[in-house]
Structure 1
């Protein structure tokens, strides 16, 4: 009878333990600022699938949608307030909250170096202080931006050009005389079609899938900056994870960042495809190219110097390194 009672109690405790383990599973509500069938959401979808497959009982990610769920420039506030837990986004879209985050695009140092030299810790600290957001991962590394235009470019003076831009290169576009306009990616095709803009800034990948090549004549070479897309979480949502869950997420993040090495070939392939589709590579003369890139980086860092006197020197030390 005693043995039977012991077995019953043990079974009950085991059941309670199992129930407790199941109850500990955390589901993170997530969005992507990019539509779900584009290049900059591809890695995110792979990450979510891997987490949901390997993280049963620990962590699951529920993707509620792309920009149709929350407009890109509102995702930062949604993260800060806890409306969502997790976002596949770029810090460019929440630079109004964390202007220092633009250093992520200005840097030419790989993520592996930033994790070693203290750059990652500093940027994560700033995000936590200013926006209740924690920076988890970088999912693009080594891709450049380009100016795409329907008007020829022969100098570093683009006076009279109307270019679609985002915060990270608004100062640069103004520095070269262009008029920058902030337009969500989903509205760029129509803006080109109607002549609202003469061109746009965009990475060396993704033009074809957006369909913008149909309304674009030139891609200016060389490119500039280091395209930044990554994973960000609400700070409180991250802190609610227990140590096992955090360790699991860090392991998945390490895997995700290890995939960045394939991007250079993707850029080469897409450039070839866009050229075949009619987008001409407009290669600037060396002096003009040097002047354009110098203005890009000098104006970018000047913006950080102005908006963040507290952290600008540290950011330049850890994230800088551009040579004209």
Structure 2
């Protein structure tokens, strides 16, 4: 597994709406392996491998959750709001990184009852002595991502932004592995998924695919006293049955399951009771697109320390490659 590439992808700065750095990294990595590459008006990166068969869209989102500055106090502390699903409890005392490399620490006002903790009761400390000094580094509307390091933990990996840089990684490695495909393949690296599947919606309208598969993370039920969910790390990539945004099309679901069975690739079935992926907007595009999702089991989603299994990732690459090698 190309850990150095995954490290670059997860370390890259790219909160929703600010995907320029991660988009450039991906474009540089794949440009020699595709027939055509472009960036649309929304900022989606679209890479095409030409073929004569059905038009297949593979979607992985580039963006990550983050925070946006809403105000600066006279004492130099930054008030902020969320970009995507940011929990106040998980964010407390975490470090954040701005595009200009300024680093801050998330703190909170004194509270007698931690149950009342909300983002409006929190602030970011960038070490400024007053508002004037803070304004030299950060302004209202500036955006930050969480700041944490990529770490290998035996068979597992932990890093920020594995949601969904791991999907981008799988798409990149699949592009490299594919020698020939009878299908017309559109690998789309989307923007603003964390803000409501926005980039995928416009990209799908442009691509007008016959079928679509998103590659994203999903939650697990394999930690102590976890909420019940029949997905765990190390048991293979998961074929989505349903989430809050999508009921997977039977043909796409069965395509993934049958290909896994035929090639002895381990897989799991996923029913997610909340959340959604790019396929949630893709399948409603134009007159409808048969859509599904290949999910990577991930612990601690939407935290600075998301965790996935190397084996699940490698098997996802194998499965996606096998699917695309054959006529769909």
TM bucket by the smaller chain?
under 0.3
Which entry has the higher C-alpha Rg, 1 or 2? 1
Q: TM-score, normalization: structure 2?
A: 0.24
Which structure has more strand as a fraction of its residues? 2
Which structure has more helix as a fraction of its residues? 1
